[in-house]
Amino acid sequence: MKVVLSFFFFFEEKSLDGRSEQLCPSCNSSRPYVPRSLQDGSLVYDLLVVTDLARYSKVSDTKWQSIVRRGVLRMSADQRTFSVQWNAGSNVSLTTNISAGGRAMEQSDLAVFDGRVLAPDDRTGLIYEILNDVAYPWVFVSDGPGNTKKGLKIERLTVKADKLYAGGIGTEWRTKKGVYLNDNPMWVKIISRSGEVKHVNWRSVFVKIRRAVGIQYPGYVTHEAVQWSDFHHKWFFLPRRESHDVYDEVQDESRGTNLLITAAETFSSFQVVKIGKLVHPTRGFSAFQFIPNTEDNLIIALKSEEIHEKPVESYVSVFDIKGNILLPDSPLNTPLKFEGIAFV
């Protein structure tokens, strides 16, 4: 494995198209994201999604890529009708030559934080800033308690107040057949605006979440989609997988969930809501964002579907926090695994 060092890069804030204005006002709580208004009262939001191409991210012996795509979400005036369109020809390749174990640029989420559009690489533990269609390393986070050479397999980014929370799958790390290895994915990294990293053990939190849905070890719940709501003052989790049985790599492909779990700030209480019916258990949540101007009552979410020897599929959907589906799973119509979504 190549050695990955810590990186701290700071750049003038510019937009993806090169303008000198701040990339995204939503990263500053005093300047919330402002959608465009149409004459019929509907609102239009600009979206950005990013891929995790896994082994297919490798372009050459010294280059790896992730792809970002732009699109728009349209919401009717009564907040009941939604549509998503992806901009033709908007795909942009983000590349790097920094790898770990021959893999890199497997971007697993998107977040807007302190003037930056950020995307974590779940292979190297690097969090990149996307600026002018280029990915720049910003912060490196190590696995587990922070005293390891291996980078954290970052699956999610969450903004809470002036901190960025980076986390893994939120359950024990196991072999393909479910043999326990360590608790490293249950640690969370709390990152300041200046890039300082604090390592916090959330094992007790994830055990409580498991119990909230009636699962005990060796069963598991995995997480790639977590957000904090200032409106509700609660944590929101859209688990990717759940099982009462021990982990098995093949069986895991069909253990997707339709659960929305909310938790008090101190994780002292939980509420579980089902989002419609679980029609496609092979599809698992990979990311979500609250839709601006809805007081965090509406969610846009990404799902991905990975079935052995079949092309990868990605889907976008919209639903409310009570579990009512407003836009059913809509395919992105490309064999790419999109794992991060943001309003920019």
Binding-site residue numbers for Ca(2+) are 108-109, 155, 224, 286, 339
Distance CA 150, CA 70 (A): 32
CA-nearest of 107, 42, 102, 116 to 72 is: 42
Around Cβ 169, how many Cβ atoms within 10 Å? 23
DSSP H or E run through 256: none
In contact, 228 and 263? CB cutoff 8 Å? no
In the block, tokens 């979504």 appear at 341
In contact, 125 and 117? CB cutoff 8 Å? no
Distance CA 134, CA 94 (A): 6
CA-nearest of 296, 295, 280 to 328 is: 280
Annotated binding-site members: 108-109, 155, 224, 286, 339
Distance CA 27, CA 318 (A): 22
**Token code pair at residue 343:** 């309003």
User: Assign residue 178 a region: left if phi > 0, alpha if psi is -120 to 50, beta otherwise?
Assistant: left
List the helix and strand counts (H, then E) for the chain: 1, 25
The Cβ-side half-sphere exposure at 306, using a 13 Å CA radius, reads 18
